[in-house]
Amino acid sequence: MWSPRGRDRRQERRTLEARQFARRRRSLADRPGRAIVLGFAGVIGVGTAVLLLPVARAGEQSPGLLDAFFTATSAVSVTGLNVVDTPTYWSTFGHVAILALCQAGGFGIMALASLLGLLVTRRLGLRSRLTTVAEAGTVGLGEVREVLFGLIRISLVVEAAVALVLWLRLWLGYDEPPGRAAWYAVFHAVSSFNNAGFSLWSDSLVRFVGDPWIVVPVCVAVFLGSIGLPVLMELSRRVLPVREWSLHTRMTVGGWLGLMVLGWVVLTAFEWTNPDTLGGRPVGTRLLGGLAASVLPRSAGLQTVDYADVTDESLVVTTVLMFIGGGAASAGGGIKVTTLLLLLLVIAAEVRGSRDVEVAGRRLGPRTQRQAVAVTTLTIGILFVATLLMMALADLGLGRAAFETASAFSTAGLSSVGTGSLPDSAQLLLVVLMFVGRIGPVTLVSALALRDRPHLYRYPEGRPLIG
């Protein structure tokens, strides 16, 4: 029998469920870092389960749990560290799974970073929103669909173009069968653009150190993948004149290229006479190897030299390049190029005695300066503790331990000792560093920005002695 009271109860239950859903949605919007952590952890879990399938490993044995877990984390965080030899340990199915995880990780971090930027923009006042959009070169006040479709379009175009060049070179220059050459080309194009660092050659790209038709397209893909989606979308609309670029684009591209040239000169000089890397090779090969040594450590993970054989000076310079990383909202890791430039501008302003930090006719606010200091200081603190743990767990010297931890946290994917030779405890430490290094800076900066609340009062200024 129909009852008005029963209908009222069902209506009340639906209303209560709708309110609970709205409350959970607001909670995720207020704390997006939680959604990012859960999302990436979920993808890593799925990837681990897939790589644990017997079909994922070459041969008759099933994959090991730590091998699958480490590889899935490295792929989703687009790092490229490996505890096993990727070409021989994993089957074709495993290679496809790794590639899919790399694509998902690279796409996910760029999309999430850009969408978090839009979320932060919406939380600001109208004037601050308009200023942020203008200076950062974002797509608008909430154009989520344009961000996602723009990322898909740019990713497909860049990866297809790089894959085409690599395919032709492998097919015509190295007599690879067309099908095999196409698969290798696609794999390394996706790996390069997403700064993932995985390779289907056991020596990564060392065998191609003197081949510009391999090295240059890979370096271009790494550059485009590590400067960030806002920069790529702005450059897709307007490449010239440079003076019309946004401040963020000018700082990112200028800083990235400046560090590339500086690293190119310094690393080429340090390895010029090293017989184990570039010494004794033709001049063109040395210059090309130096270029790759400067570009690829910026978070790409691929390599044209064996870092177990580089000089100690090159090891230090490479560690610094990994620590800096790429651009904001990109597949690159590290503290980001704009963070470094901002800190240098703060130092320059203090040395000159300037009241404001200025660049290109713009004043950089104290909030942005504090965020840069917070990100850099926390990163240094994490790496300091992680380096001490790595020295204790793996019995490594300071330089090698710092290189390994910086590589994992900055998702650079390079190793000077062979990750697979480290004890299980050290490998698990690297897993934690890869995960935190991938999602940490994005969630930290967004959390700091979302906590920007105006106060109705200010305390009197205090000036403790410095130095």
pLDDT (tens digit, 9 = 90+) per residue, 303-341?
999 999 999 999 999 999 999 998 887 878 889 999 999
CB atoms within 10 A of CB 400: 21
Over 60: is that where the pLDDT of 92 sits? Answer: yes
pLDDT score for 14: 63
pLDDT score for 369: 87
- Side-chain-facing half-sphere of 256: CA atoms under 13 Å: 30
CB atoms within 10 A of CB 27: 11
Give bridge partners of residue 359 from the DSSP assignment: 362
User: Distances in Å between the alpha carbon of 321 and those of 65, 142, 228, 403?
Assistant: 32, 34, 17, 11
CA 215 remoteness from chain centre: 20
pLDDT score for 328: 80
Question: Rounded to 5 degrees, what are φ and ψ at 182?
Answer: -65, -45
Q: Identify the band that residue 1 occupies on the pLDDT scale cut at 50, 70 and 90.
A: very low
Q: Alpha helices of 395-423 — where are they, by DSSP H?
A: 398-409
Over 90: is that where the pLDDT of 428 sits? Answer: yes
240 φψ region: left (φ > 0), alpha (ψ -120 to 50), beta (else) = beta
CB atoms within 10 A of CB 258: 12
Q: Which of 371, 340, 346 is nearest to 358 (CA)?
A: 346
Per mean pLDDT, which range of 58-62, 108-112, 184-188, 300-304 is the poorest?
Answer: 108-112
Over 90: is that where the pLDDT of 53 sits? Answer: yes
- Side-chain-facing half-sphere of 1: CA atoms under 13 Å: 2
Output 238 or 48, whichever has higher pLDDT. 48
Per mean pLDDT, which range of 134-143, 201-210, 368-377, 429-438 is the poorest?
Answer: 134-143
Rounded distance between C-alpha atoms, residue 230 and residue 346, angstroms: 24
Model confidence pLDDT, tens digit, residues 151-162 = 788 889 999 999
The sign of the CA dihedral 434, 435, 437, 439 is positive
pLDDT score for 387: 97
Q: Identify the band that residue 125 occupies on the pLDDT scale cut at 50, 70 and 90.
A: very low
Query: Mean pLDDT, to the nearest integer, of 138-161?
Result: 73
* Contact status, residue 79 vs residue 415, Cβ threshold 8 Å: no
Question: In the chain, pLDDT over 70 holds for what percent of residues?
Answer: 80
Q: Identify the band that residue 127 occupies on the pLDDT scale cut at 50, 70 and 90.
A: very low
Q: Identify the band that residue 37 occupies on the pLDDT scale cut at 50, 70 and 90.
A: confident
Q: Identify the band that residue 452 occupies on the pLDDT scale cut at 50, 70 and 90.
A: low
Rounded distance between C-alpha atoms, residue 297 and residue 303, angstroms: 8
Mean residue pLDDT of the chain comes to 84
Residue with tokens 């996602």: 148
Over 90: is that where the pLDDT of 445 sits? Answer: no
Q: DSSP E strands: which ranges in 179-291?
A: none
pLDDT score for 280: 87
pLDDT score for 28: 45
Query: Mean pLDDT, to the nearest integer, of 277-296?
Result: 94
pLDDT score for 400: 94
pLDDT score for 124: 41
Output 298 or 278, whichever has higher pLDDT. 278
Rounded distance between C-alpha atoms, residue 229 and residue 58, angstroms: 36
Q: DSSP E strands: which ranges in 352-395?
A: 357-359, 362-364
Q: Identify the band that residue 129 occupies on the pLDDT scale cut at 50, 70 and 90.
A: very low
Question: In the chain, pLDDT over 90 holds for what percent of residues?
Answer: 54
**Hey, what are 289's tokens?**
């190897």
Question: Rounded to 5 degrees, what are φ and ψ at 397?
Answer: -70, 170
Which range has the top average pLDDT, 239-243, 366-370, 463-467?
Answer: 366-370
pLDDT score for 131: 40
pLDDT score for 39: 78
Q: Identify the band that residue 97 occupies on the pLDDT scale cut at 50, 70 and 90.
A: very high
User: Distances in Å between the alpha carbon of 126 and those of 131, 133, 446?
Assistant: 9, 11, 18
* Contact status, residue 70 vs residue 77, Cβ threshold 8 Å: no
DSSP string, 61-130: SPPPHHHHHHHHHHHHTT----SS-HHHHB-HHHHHHHHHHHHHHHHHHHHHHHHHHHHHHHHS-HHHHH
**Hey, what are 319's tokens?**
């560690």
Residue burial 437-457, b: 16+ Cβ < 10 Å; e: rest: bbbbbbbbbbebbbeeeeeee
Output 45 or 41, whichever has higher pLDDT. 45
CB atoms within 10 A of CB 339: 25
Model confidence pLDDT, tens digit, residues 172-223 = 999 999 999 999 999 999 999 999 999 999 999 999 999 999 999 999 999 9
pLDDT score for 233: 82
